[in-house]
Amino acid sequence: MASVTSTISNPTYSKRTRDSATASTLQTASSSATNVFHLSMDNTVNTANVHFKAYDSAAPSVGTTDPNLIVRLPASRRVELICKEGMTFSTALKFAVVTEAGTGGTTSPTTALDVSIGHS
């Protein structure tokens, strides 16, 4: 499923991007500058650790471009991150989930994840 961005009424952020099938294919949360306030990543569907990677780039390449943020998602767990002051992505916000940590790695998890990003 492709990511869907909705305008919402929230005192902290005005948009929520959700992709219920996030894997190694790059998804777009924002094509322009944005601030991230909330990340929700559900890895309860997998029995192995995976890694959420976010890029501040209009055209990153998964496995080649250095991610600006990497979050390790433990097996069979859901992870919520609150960024009270906001995390700035000055160009764009693209994201993917792969099995490998670090810059390299293009292998999709066994089962794609549900990822939600609150941003403005």
Overall number of domains in the chain: 1
Classify residue 23: in a domain, yes or no: no
Whether residue 3 contacts residue 77, with contact meaning beta carbons closer than 8 Å, is answered with no
Question: Would you state the pLDDT for residue 79?
Answer: 98
Classify residue 74: in a domain, yes or no: yes
- CB atoms inside a 10 Å sphere around CB 31: 12
Q: What is the domain extent for residue 83?
A: 42-120
Residues of the chain with pLDDT under 50: none
The residue to which tokens 């559900």 are assigned: 42
Q: Which residues of 79-107 are buried (b: 16+ CB within 10 A; e: fewer)?
A: eeeebeebbebebbbbbbbbbeeeeebee
Question: Would you state the pLDDT for residue 8?
Answer: 80
Classify residue 18: in a domain, yes or no: no
Classify residue 99: in a domain, yes or no: yes
Q: Which tokens sit at 102? A: 């670090």
**Residues, the chain, total?**
120
How far, CA to CA in Å, does 68 sit from each of 10, 84, 95, 96? Answer: 25, 18, 10, 12
Predicted model pTM: 0.93
CA 88, CA 103: separation in Å to the nearest integer? 20
Question: Would you state the pLDDT for residue 1?
Answer: 55
